[in-house]
């Protein structure tokens, strides 16, 4: 999923979101609140419960072991729909953290 790194990094820069490398993953933070995590297998977002419920009904999205406020996205391919979801969910995560 390193293909998502440029998209997330650009969105983070534009929103004032901090980026922290933690071993094999990249964490995105608003203040001290973790809002997204990019790993080799995919990306996870911290979202409002209603957005999580909707996200879980989309292809390649799964409940995250991080907790009920998180959704894991592991797309089989990075088509325009997958990229749109990543951008939208990142924006929701940032707004939900007060960013």
Rounded Cα distance, 65 and 62, in Å: 9
Residues 10-32: pLDDT tens digits?
999 888 899 999 999 999 999 99
Query: Rounded to an integer, what is the distance from CA 43 to the centroid of its chain?
Result: 5
- What domains appear along the chain, each with residue ranges and CATH number? 2-96 (3.90.1150.30)
Q: State pTM to two decimals.
A: 0.92
Q: What is the pLDDT of residues 28-75, one digit of tens each?
A: 999 999 999 999 989 999 999 999 999 999 999 999 999 999 999 999
């Amino acid at each position: 999923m390193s293909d998502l790194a440029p998209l997330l990094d650009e969105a983070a820069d534009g929103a004032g979101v901090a980026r922290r490398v933690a071993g094999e993953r990249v964490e995105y933070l608003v203040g001290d609140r973790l809002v997204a995590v990019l790993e080799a297998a995919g990306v996870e977002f911290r979202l409002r419960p209603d957005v999580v419920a909707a996200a879980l009904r989309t292809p390649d999205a799964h409940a995250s072991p991080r907790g009920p406020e998180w959704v894991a996205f592991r797309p089989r391919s990075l088509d325009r729909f997958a990229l749109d979801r990543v951008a939208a969910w990142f924006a929701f995560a940032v707004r939900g953290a007060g960013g």
